């Protein structure tokens, strides 16, 4: 694949806002690009608890195009300024403040998940630090902008296409970090091992609320505002999506998959799976082999 030409950072990007990648279900080795975007913040939203960000684990690279954001980890608070990237695993234990005192902020971000992408991401995170510095016209920034443009202009590309794009960008990030980084927070936060914010265990939302120091009702209300759906609905969808991936990519039988994603019986799992995918787990496996 040809390398994109170097262009200056755009002050007026073609697209602003969050873009979520929806690709085919190709199940080969894959660098899974999930989302990207260029966001503008012109008022001071309340502090954002990053540990509430996702049911799914993932990774995010967020580069500050203009202004300053703040990242709080425990009792420490760090500035992430223009020309710096904040490298985080999701869910992340920190808090995000952006912007402060109504100073406009523009950030460019790339989100990803999956074993291939997260292993490389975690290596770059630990090697070069959680806050990394890059020239605004560096190749890693211009390629990230191009990824956002591609996602906005051609959202229906294949999984293989997006995997190739993300693989190329990750390698460019590595090259740029080797040549120009000035790391901050190096080694202060190790990459989080893959785990969900809420587990598949029975009564997990109640148990999670207790661990957080909230009542179940309060946490359910808080997560519902964050996810725009009830935690139970989000958890059920996550269970079934994981089951579908296992049906495509493993030889586990239906009963084993049902147990792994938190169903008490294969029959209850099959009923839920048919409601979501309109075919039985066995038919789904045959159709996606």
Q: pLDDT tens for residues 228-251?
A: 778 888 888 888 888 988 898 888
Q: Is residue 212 part of a domain?
A: yes
* Structural domains of the chain, count: 2
172 with 224, same domain? no
112 with 32, same domain? yes
Show the domain range for 65.
17-180
145 with 240, same domain? no
243 with 139, same domain? no
143 with 210, same domain? no
Q: Is residue 196 part of a domain?
A: no
Question: Residue 188 above 70 pLDDT?
Answer: no
The confidence score (pLDDT) of residue 255 equals 93
Residue at token pair 């993300």: 166
Q: Is residue 29 part of a domain?
A: yes
Bond preceding residue 99 cis, omega within 30 of 0: yes
Q: Is residue 7 part of a domain?
A: no
Give the CATH number of the domain where residue 72 resides: 2.60.120.280
Give pLDDT tens digits for 80-127. Answer: 999 999 998 877 777 888 776 667 889 999 999 888 898 899 889 888
169 with 208, same domain? no
Q: Is residue 231 part of a domain?
A: yes
Q: Does this model's pTM top 0.75? A: no
Residue at token pair 């995000």: 96
Q: Is residue 66 part of a domain?
A: yes
213 with 70, same domain? no
216 with 83, same domain? no
168 with 228, same domain? no
SS (HEC) of the chain:
CCCCCCCCCCCCCCCCEEEECCCCCCCCCCCEEEEEEEEEECCCCCCEEHHHCCCCCEEEEEEEEECEEEEEECCEEEEEECCEEEEEEECCCCEEECCCCCCCEEEEEEEEECHHHHHHHHHHHHHHCCEEECCCCCHHHHHHHHHHHHHHHCCCCCHHHHHHHHHHHHHHHHHHHHHHCCCECCCCCCCCCCCCCCCCCCCHHHHHHHHHCCCHHHHHHHHHHHHCCCHHHHHHHHHHHHHHHHHHHCCCCHHHHHHHCCCCCHHHHHHHHHHHHCCCHHHHHHHCC
Q: Is residue 230 part of a domain?
A: yes
Residue where a domain stops, chosen among 180, 195, 224: 180
Give the CATH number of the domain where residue 235 resides: 1.10.10.60
Mean pLDDT, to the nearest integer, of 159-163? 88
Q: Is residue 246 part of a domain?
A: yes
88 with 212, same domain? no
Give the separation between CA 131 and CA 93, rounded to whole angstroms.
Answer: 15
Mean pLDDT: which of 3-7, 46-50, 57-61 is highest? 57-61
22 with 108, same domain? yes
Residue where a domain stops, chosen among 120, 145, 180: 180
The confidence score (pLDDT) of residue 92 equals 75
48 with 81, same domain? yes
Tell me what percent of the residues of the chain surpass a pLDDT of 70. Answer: 78
Give the separation between CA 5 and CA 160, rounded to whole angstroms.
Answer: 22
Mean pLDDT, to the nearest integer, of 23-46? 76
């Amino acid at each position: 694949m040809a390398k994109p030409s170097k262009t200056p950072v755009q002050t007026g990007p073609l697209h602003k806002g969050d873009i979520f990648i929806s690709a085919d279900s190709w199940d080969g080795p894959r660098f899974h690009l999930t989302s990207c975007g260029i966001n503008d913040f012109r008022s001071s939203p309340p502090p954002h608890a990053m540990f509430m960000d996702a049911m799914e684990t993932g990774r995010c690279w967020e580069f500050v195009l203009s202004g300053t954001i703040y990242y709080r980890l425990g009792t420490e608070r760090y500035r992430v300024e223009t020309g710096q990237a904040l490298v985080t695993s999701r869910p992340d234990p920190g808090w995000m403040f952006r912007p402060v005192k109504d100073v406009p902020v523009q950030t460019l971000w790339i989100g990803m998940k999956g074993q291939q992408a997260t292993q490389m991401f975690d290596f770059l995170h630990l090697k070069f630090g959680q806050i990394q510095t890059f020239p605004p016209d560096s190749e890693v920034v211009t390629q990230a902008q191009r990824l956002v443009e591609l996602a906005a202009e051609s959202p229906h590309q294949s999984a293989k296409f997006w995997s190739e794009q993300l693989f190329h960008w990750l390698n460019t990030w590595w090259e740029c970090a080797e040549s120009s980084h000035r790391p901050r927070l190096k080694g202060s936060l190790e990459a989080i091992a893959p785990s969900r914010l809420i587990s598949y265990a029975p009564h997990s939302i109640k148990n999670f609320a207790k661990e957080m120091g909230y009542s179940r009702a309060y946490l359910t209300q808080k997560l519902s505002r964050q996810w725009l759906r009830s935690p139970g609905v989000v958890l059920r969808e996550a269970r079934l999506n994981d089951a579908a991936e296992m049906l495509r990519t493993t030889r586990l039988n239906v009963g084993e998959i049902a147990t792994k994603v938190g169903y008490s019986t294969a029959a209850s799992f099959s009923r839920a799976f048919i409601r979501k995918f309109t075919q039985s787990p066995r038919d789904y496996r045959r159709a996606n082999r």
